[in-house]
């Protein structure tokens, strides 16, 4: 990942998406906002108890930092830790409940709120399809990545071998404890148990993606643990009461899909 900063706001971008000029994205850290207490600093969620006015100020400051145009429609779903996928168009309102959003339209920004969960951006440079996915452990159990790829294939004709998938900082294997894993996780996940009761969901996601035909060279996983990196990231597992990051992605219109290499 690449670390970016503007006016005190710190966000991260994926290296695999840099060649694609029209694809814009950001994974915001906790740095640079106005929230205090358990939400400090850049809480971008209205749903965790922070002052709504402060959250809105944080959002506007974050969007200005990444130069998000006012013409871009921002889609913010209510996340329910399931595997439903919704295709978004500029004329359609945000779904009440969704954990994966896809679109092939320009100027439609897909967003996911997260702390320890994975936020993934999927881009197909052939069909120009884009997805933003929220995957906690329940999303992994339901294989939300498989569902997203299948829906992109249905809506846009996406082929898995063309897809680029990038996964945000999230809970790492040294802190992903599942005391009740025998009842919560499928037997196939036990191959990713790094020590008693602890699981590597970074590798589970990579395995699931490769099982669907995504090429290994087209997968970028941050492998940064939100629990361990207190400076940059909120963590529900670590703090219980905390803010949320925002991952956002959209496509700009009237631009070449590839960045200049000069």
Question: What distance in Å separates the CA atoms of residue 244 and residue 224, rounded to the nearest whole number?
Answer: 16
Q: What is the pLDDT of residue 260?
A: 38
Instruction: Using pLDDT thresholds of 50, 70 and 90, give the confidence band for residue 257.
Output: low
For the whole model, what pTM was predicted? Answer: 0.94
Residue 116 has pLDDT above 50, yes or no: yes
Chain center to CA of 245: 9
SS3 annotation, 112-126:
EEECCCEEEEEEECC
**pLDDT tens digits for range 132-160:** 999 999 999 999 999 999 999 999 999 99
Res 173 pLDDT > 70: yes
Name every residue whose Cβ is closer than 8 Å to that of residue 154 and which is 6 or more positions away in sequence.
none
Mean pLDDT for the chain overall: 93
HSE at residue 161, side-chain half, CA atoms within 13 A, is 0
Q: What is the pLDDT of residue 60?
A: 96
78 DSSP 8-state letter: P
Nearest-Å Rg of the Cα atoms of the chain is 17
Q: Where are the domains of the chain?
A: 2-251
When pLDDT is averaged across residues 178-190 and rounded to a whole number, the result is 97
- In the chain, the N- to C-terminal Cα span, in Å, equals 21
Confidence check: pLDDT of 242 > 70: yes
What per-residue confidence (pLDDT) applies to 253? 76
User: Is 15 within 8 Å of 25 (Cβ atoms)?
Assistant: no
Q: Which fold has domain 2-251?
A: 3.60.140
Do 115 and 236 meet the contact criterion of CB atoms below 8 Å apart? yes
Q: What mean pLDDT do residues 117-138 have? A: 97
Phi, psi of 99 (to 5 degrees): -120, 0
Residue with tokens 């960045």: 259
The DSSP bridge pattern shows strands 108-114 and 118-124 to be unpaired
- The phi-psi region of residue 3 (left if phi > 0; otherwise alpha if psi is between -120 and 50; otherwise beta) is beta
DSSP, res 154: H
At 93 the three-state DSSP class reads coil
Looking at residue 33, its pLDDT comes to: 94
- pLDDT higher than 90, residue 262: no
Which tens digit of pLDDT belongs to each residue from 10-28?
999 999 999 999 999 999 9
d(CA 94, CA 58): 21
Alpha carbons 244 and 116: distance in angstroms, whole number: 9
Mean pLDDT confidence for 109-129? 97
In degrees, rounded to 5, the angle at the alpha carbon of residue 178 between the alpha carbons of residues 217 and 136 is: 50
Beta bridge partners of 5: 10
pLDDT above 70: residue 254: no
Helix (H) or strand (E) holding 65: helix 52-65
């Amino acid at each position: 990942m690449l670390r970016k900063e503007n006016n005190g706001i710190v966000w991260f971008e994926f290296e695999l998406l840099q060649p694609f000029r029209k694809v814009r994205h950001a994974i915001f850290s906790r740095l640079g906002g106005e929230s205090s207490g358990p939400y400090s600093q850049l809480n971008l969620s209205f749903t965790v108890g922070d002052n709504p006015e402060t959250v809105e100020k944080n959002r506007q400051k974050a969007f200005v930092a990444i130069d998000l145009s006012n013409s871009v429609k921002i889609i913010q779903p209510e996340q329910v830790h399931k595997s439903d996928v919704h295709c978004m168009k500029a004329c359609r309102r945000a779904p009440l409940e969704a954990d994966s959003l896809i679109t092939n339209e320009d100027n439609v920004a897909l967003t996911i709120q997260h702390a320890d969960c994975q936020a993934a951006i999927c881009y197909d440079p052939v069909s120009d399809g884009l997805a933003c996915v929220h995957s906690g452990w329940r999303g992994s159990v339901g294989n939300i990545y498989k569902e997203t790829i299948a829906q992109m294939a249905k809506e846009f004709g996406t082929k898995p071998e063309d897809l680029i998938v990038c996964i945000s900082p999230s809970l790492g294997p040294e802190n992903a404890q599942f005391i009740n894993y025998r009842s919560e996780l499928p037997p196939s996940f036990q191959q990713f148990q790094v020590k008693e009761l602890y699981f590597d969901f970074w590798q589970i996601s990579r395995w699931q993606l490769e099982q669907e035909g995504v090429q290994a060279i087209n997968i970028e996983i941050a492998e940064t643990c939100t629990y361990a990196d207190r400076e940059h990231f909120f963590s529900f597992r670590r703090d219980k009461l905390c803010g949320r990051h925002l991952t956002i992605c959209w496509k700009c219109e009237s631009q070449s899909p590839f960045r200049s290499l000069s």
